[in-house]
Amino acid sequence: MARYKMRQRLIALGEDFTIEDERGNPVYNVDGKLLRIRETFVIEDLSGNEIATIREKKLALRDSMTILRGGETIATIRKAWFSPFRTSFEVEVNGQGALAVDGDILDHEYTISQSGVW
């Protein structure tokens, strides 16, 4: 199972950051752009080629994100209802069905499963 880590400042507007593998090697770059009610992240390979765009929509009943590749939506992520120490998301992947993401917001560790299998 591949593991990745990202370091992002807790308070930052439109910050860029790097996603690393478990050995600390850079794997992807993220270009963060802040708009009024939407935050956009462009994920690039190390050569600067765009891999995907994530658009985060805020100020809704439940926050949501759309992942696009080549301008086409490939997945939609919706935050599940609030839990004090755990964060859960519902991920609808086009053509693949739904995934569940559950994690600990304090440790930033998440498990991704499909139909209860991870």
pLDDT value of residue 1 = 54
Q: What are the tens digits of pLDDT across the range 48-80?
A: 899 998 888 766 666 788 999 998 999 898 887
Rounded-to-integer distance, Cα 65 and Cα 29, Å: 18
pTM: 0.62
Are 19 and 6 in contact by the 8 Å Cβ rule? The answer is: yes
| Domain residue ranges of the chain, discontinuous segments joined by + | 4-113
Which of the residue ranges 2-6, 21-25, 87-91, 103-107 would you say has the lowest mean pLDDT?
2-6
* 4-113 belongs to CATH 2.40.50.140: no
CB-neighbour burial class of residue 107 (10 A; exposed 0-12, middle 13-18, buried 19+): exposed
pLDDT value of residue 11 = 45
7-14 own/partner pairs: CB under 8 Å, 24+ apart: none
pLDDT interval class at 8 (50, 70, 90): low
CB atoms within 10 A of CB 38: 14
The better pLDDT of the pair 5, 51 is held by 51
In the numeric block, the tokens 């304090």 are attached to 106
